[in-house]
Amino acid sequence: MQDFLRLTLDEAAPQPVSGECAHFRWRWLAVGVLTFEPLMPVDRALVLSAGLHGNETAPVELLDKLLQRLMQGEIRLQWRVLVILGNPAALRADRRFVDYDINRLFSGRWRDVPSCSETARAAALEKRVSDFFAAGEERIRWHLDMHTAIRGSYYPRFGVLPARARPYDEGFLHWLGCAGLEALVFHQTPGGTFTHFTSATFAALSCTLELGKARPFGSNDLSQFNQAAQALAALLGGEALPVANAPRRYRVAGQLIRHSEAFILHMADSTLNFTPFPRGTLLAEEGETRYEVQHDIERVLFPNPHVAPGLRAGLMLVEIT
């Protein structure tokens, strides 16, 4: 198959649209959507996605190199895999999104937003994932959605896990440490993210991987992601994993919601992810509403005062000990 990333950016289909290698079959389904199926039966299925935000290019380049290794026969595939480049229009434009943040539109939330390129894409991706999981009876289902953060961070590589009724499998969390993640953040409430959709709808073990800082194509130092790349290749091929980190664990204790233009976030633009704030600190205000730190120490994640009304302008975290 020709270069999957280049085809996606060119909005083109490969010729042919399917094929067979030594150990697997592949099929191109749509722009930015590709499946791999081992020739032998397997008991595990993986959704591997990147590029939901068009300015977060390092994971897209990492995924493209992983696919090249797979197609060249360097990895003997042990999973049925659905590969997704989430927002091709935004990738082509080198913008976070074109009309609306697609990673707030899953689990049917695309129905609540005026029709645009991202609502159509979210609906289409939900259908692709549904068809993918319905096509198999695997006992293990994972979803790894790779991103980069807008801001710098005390932990350059971290994971965000959706709310889940059942405890997370420790083997899954161990793999995240093998991928080089230094912190894990556990949501407590439902959301509109891609990973929440796959977790809640299909009981997949899902995680948003934040791998460094957002940069344009060609400006990424992929050596920073060597451990993640090694862990992904080892996962797909059933090989020995890199030595695991022991990530710090945090739960989401509160959200800063921007409801109107009156919202003020009392944090500098240079504030890093995981910056700690002591009890009583005024974090934000909006009219008579004040957001203050309620625990001895809370750390901020994804502070952004410029989100659309109704969306979160930051998450506040408490460490799990």
Backbone angle region of 212, left / alpha / beta, with phi > 0 → left and psi within -120 to 50 → alpha: left
pLDDT at 289 over 90: yes
pLDDT at 2 over 70: no
Which CATH number fits the domain 252-319, given the four candidates 1.20.1050.10, 1.10.3720.10, 2.40.50.630, 3.40.50.720?
A: 2.40.50.630
Residue 96: pLDDT band (50, 70, 90) is: very high
Helix axis angle for 194-202 and 117-134, nearest 10°, is 30
Where are the chain's structural domains? 4-237, 252-319
Residues contributing to the annotated binding site for Zn(2+) = 53, 56, 147
Quote the pLDDT of residue 1.
61
Active site (catalytic) residues = 210
Q: Residue 68 corresponds to which amino acid?
A: Q
Residues 6+ apart with CB under 8 A from 112: none
Residues contributing to the annotated binding site = 53, 56, 147
Range 4-237: architecture per CATH: 3-Layer(aba) Sandwich (3.40)
Question: How far does CA 186 lie from the centroid of its chain?
Answer: 14
DSSP for 43-79 reads: SEEEEEEE-SSTT--HHHHHHHHHHHHHHTT-S---S
pLDDT at 223 over 90: no
Q: How many CA atoms lie within 13 A of 223 on its CB side?
A: 1
pLDDT tens digits, 26-64:
999 999 999 999 999 999 999 999 999 999 988 999 999
Quote the pLDDT of residue 86.
96
